[in-house]
Amino acid sequence: MEYSKETLKKLIDEKILRHFGCKEQEVTEQQIYRATALVVRDILMEKRSEFESNVKKQETKRVYYMSMEFLVGTSLKNNLFNLGIEEKMRAVVADYGVNIDSLYEMEPDAGLGNGGLGRLASCYMDAAATKQLSCTGFSIRYEFGIFKQKIVDGWQMEFPDNWLDMGDVWLVPREDEAFEVKFDGRVTENWENGVNRVEYTDYNSVIAVPYDMMISGYDSPAVNNLVLWSAKSPNRIDMDLFSRGEYVKSMEKNAMAEAISKVLYPADDHYEGKALRLKQQYLLVCASLQSIMKQFMKECGDVYQLPDKVAIHINDTHPSLCVPELMRILLDEHGLNWDDAWDITCKTLAYTNHTVMSEALERWPESLFAEKLPRIYQIVREVDRRFGLILNEHYSGDYAKINYMDIIANSQVKMANLCLACCHKVNGVSKLHSDILKNDVFHDFYYIMPEKFTNVTNGIAHRRWLCQANPELSGFITELIGDGFIRDANELVRLLDYENDRAVLERLQKIKHNNKLRLAQYIKEHNGINVDPDAVFDVQVKRLHEYKRQLLNVLHIMHIYNKLLENPSADVKPRVFIFAAKASAGYVMAKQIIRLINMVAREVNSNPLTRDKLKVIFLEDYRVSLAELIIPAAEISEQISVAGKEASGTGNMKLMLNGAITCGTLDGANVEILEQVGKENIFLFGMTAEEVIKQWQSGYSPMDIYNSNQDVRLVIDRLKHGISGTTFNDVAYSLTQGSYGSADSYMTLADFDSYKNIHEEILKTYSDREKFNRMSLINIAKAGVFSADRAIKEYADDIWKTKSVKW
């Protein structure tokens, strides 16, 4: 259906009248935002119902993407863009005297994720809808998303993110589709006529209520659904207690149940065995599988056909309870025998691993697991027993190996092992990462079931990150090669025709300059600092983690500062180093590093000797919408993790797509960026993953570097003496001595010289603007493979075995 400007205006008028009971003249900007969003939502719901009927007619295999996180960001602009009605809507709201950009700014980010993993899930929903796949996302409707970050005296403070205040317009509650989820209690098994009847008693119930969020695709008839579960207590209030005057107590149970979907766990660095987190995971899995099975039984009815009709994807181990829960449904509710149930479960489930950091791998305390989920525990025990037999066949007598691979060992339930034992496909998220899984982390699994292992290199929603975030560049690309790249990012490669066209290269530089001006304006407003838009904009934006080595970046800045102080009149190109990062609330070292960046910023930015040549900016509250502002303005993309630790990275792809040149190690998807652009168009430095391992094995001594390298010694001593009145002894100690005998675990000092050298090279290259602009053009041209459209097609073809719905 086509929507004319007049129709859209009429629809919004109606919403304003019905929802707010007011006429055009009295309406507030906020009400216009809501009305506009509601109209867009209605359009999407209508499209969805038509898409759904085609899915049914064509009996398309359905995909369910299970993820504890979806970092959606904002939706209004994305939906208008996808529906192709952005310009019309701009004109409609202008009739109310409102600029649509101020409506965009009003929308809070749906921050239902921590970082890469959650944003990836959202990029994939976008691509799946564009590719006309039937793909439903399942997650939790956290009342509070990722915390709001404020920097106070350099230190990170966390504040609740009350996104539902304005963000709820996109959510459609479906009380009629609620499901019961059971925790705690006791299980008894009775054999009756050869059939095992399981009785579950004394459990506590929670009701999971779904909220639907429509997901549009670009110029696509498909509209998919992201289902977010909210936990509700079945008994709102204990009337007995209430009438005895125990008001608070009477509502306690209710509050306990509803706590489950209260807040997103803000840690993506280490795993904590918290009961509430386990409950969140089970709520997601149990409610989603009930919903999936209800639909499946209605449409097909033959459980043996489940793997042909349904693919369920487990996004990291967080939803890995899918394994025992699907077994439970098939055994207890459909009466299947173990072997058949196991066969169906394995064929239906697939798992993506997103990290090799061992402290992030989920291992539940067995006693907690058994107490909270008694029936699920029984099933996992049996899976473990049977898997143990297989391990014994292959590795008989090798107790260490078997112990490492066991699903239950040392009173822990190891969720990655459970996924590996069951899922028919297991993938890493970049070539290097998938190789590390096969050769190292999961090598002994790979050895006995090599057919399961595969790779799908991550991808990004290039329409959001280029067309929407950088309209000027996107418009210019359209002038050059037409708009085909919007649908097919591979067409970007045609930009290479212009690699020696001076006018084109200058225009690229001009567009970058405009985006830098826009960011400079934001920096002025938020940090009160003037940055020179002609300086090199060097950007590191991502979660704060030691392995990502923001510390290497800031130590290097301290070194540049030292050099400038030695020779303040040196003729060097001015540079602005821009950081944005949230640290997990309990991660003290990460918070120290944030403080260090802020203190270095304070000193450097205020020193009249250096401030024209060097600026350091920390932008607070990094989130999707802020990334959309920073990334188009970046010239250098810092991807400097210690090799072997960053599974893929996706910020690296977004920055490349916007013409920034990667300064990086051979880690994660950087390896594939190099493959695309060639070594002349990337700034590589540092040890390779293999060298890192060798260096560790041969004994790494950062103290030797400290003693022999004066540049290093000066910056580390400075940490101890203090910067802007704050000392950083813990940071210095962790680099040189280290707790538990492991100093500088992420080899910051080992890569310091190499990093310093590559930055000198960057400066040299930048002084030849034409050359730099050409590098930038080549990076944009070669970013096509990193589109989520390509990644989602690989998942659809190789893992889910599903096809696009025909139109």
Give min distance, CB of 429 to ligand 26W, in A.
Answer: 4
Give min distance, CB of 800 to ligand 26W, in A.
Answer: 17
DSSP readout, 619-676?
-SS--HHHHHHHGGG-SEEEE-PPTT--S--SHHHHHHHTTPEEEE-S-TTHHHHHHH
Give min distance, CB of 639 to ligand 26W, in A.
Answer: 10
* Upper half-sphere CA count for residue 538 (Cβ side, 13 Å): 25
Residues 100-114, buried b or exposed e (16+ Cβ, 10 A)?
beebeebbbbbbbbb
List the structure tokens of 25.
């003249």
CB closer to ligand 26W out of 520 and 551: 551
How many angstroms separate the CA atoms of 191 and 765, rounded? Answer: 76
Are the CB atoms for 767 and 534 separated by under 8 Å? no
CB closer to ligand 26W out of 265 and 485: 265
Q: Which residues sit at the interface with ligand 26W, rule CB under 6 A?
A: 114-117, 120, 267-268, 271, 316, 354-355, 360, 362, 429, 458, 646-650, 668
Which listed residue (77, 354, 424, 516) is catalytic? 354
How many angstroms separate the CA atoms of 156 and 149, rounded? Answer: 6
List the structure tokens of 719.
């940490």
Are the CB atoms for 415 and 317 separated by under 8 Å? yes
CB closer to ligand 26W out of 79 and 648: 648
Is 347 known to be catalytic?
no
CB closer to ligand 26W out of 281 and 748: 281
Angle at 264 between CA 262 and CA 265, to 5 degrees: 120
CB closer to ligand 26W out of 354 and 759: 354
Measured in whole angstroms, the distance separating CA 275 from the mean position of its chain's CA atoms is: 23
Are the CB atoms for 422 and 398 separated by under 8 Å? no
List the structure tokens of 352.
């993506």
Instruction: Quickly list H helices, 332-437.
Output: 338-348, 366-372, 374-395, 399-405, 415-422, 431-436
CB closer to ligand 26W out of 67 and 605: 67
How many angstroms separate the CA atoms of 719 and 737, rounded? Answer: 14
Give min distance, CB of 540 to ligand 26W, in A.
Answer: 14
Is 650 known to be catalytic?
yes
Which listed residue (47, 148, 548, 549) is catalytic? 548
Reported as type and span, the H/E element at residue 577 is: strand 575-580
Is 548 known to be catalytic?
yes
Which listed residue (375, 425, 507, 543) is catalytic? 543
Beta strand pairing call for 148-152 and 155-159: antiparallel
Is 372 known to be catalytic?
no
774, amino acid identity: R
* Upper half-sphere CA count for residue 611 (Cβ side, 13 Å): 12
CB closer to ligand 26W out of 125 and 504: 125
Which listed residue (74, 352, 650, 736) is catalytic? 650
Which listed residue (654, 759, 774, 793) is catalytic? 654
- Measure Cα distances from 499 to 65, 343, 460, 495, 630 in Å: 40, 54, 24, 7, 25
How many angstroms separate the CA atoms of 263 and 72, rounded? Answer: 16
Is 478 known to be catalytic?
no
Give min distance, CB of 317 to ligand 26W, in A.
Answer: 8
Give min distance, CB of 204 to ligand 26W, in A.
Answer: 24
Position with the least CB separation from ligand 26W: 116
Nearest alpha-carbon partner for 115 in 459, 585, 465, 584: 584
Residues 718-737, buried b or exposed e (16+ Cβ, 10 A)?
bbeeebbebebeebbebbbe
Give min distance, CB of 54 to ligand 26W, in A.
Answer: 31
How many angstroms separate the CA atoms of 519 and 617, rounded? Answer: 11
Which listed residue (61, 328, 463, 542) is catalytic? 542
How many angstroms separate the CA atoms of 118 and 691, rounded? Answer: 31
211, amino acid identity: Y
For the chain, the C-alpha Rg in angstroms (whole number) is 27
Give min distance, CB of 464 to ligand 26W, in A.
Answer: 16
CB closer to ligand 26W out of 772 and 800: 800
How many angstroms separate the CA atoms of 392 and 178, rounded? Answer: 43
CB closer to ligand 26W out of 144 and 170: 144
Q: For residue 688, give every residue at least 6 positions away whose Cβ sits within 8 Å of its Cβ, in sequence order, or none.
A: 643, 665, 666
683, amino acid identity: F
Is 545 known to be catalytic?
no
How many angstroms separate the CA atoms of 141 and 284, rounded? Answer: 10
CB closer to ligand 26W out of 189 and 272: 272
Q: What residues pair up with 454 in beta bridges, in sequence order?
A: 427
List the structure tokens of 293.
């099975």
Give min distance, CB of 603 to ligand 26W, in A.
Answer: 31
CB closer to ligand 26W out of 632 and 649: 649
Give catalytic residue positions: 354, 542-543, 548, 650, 654
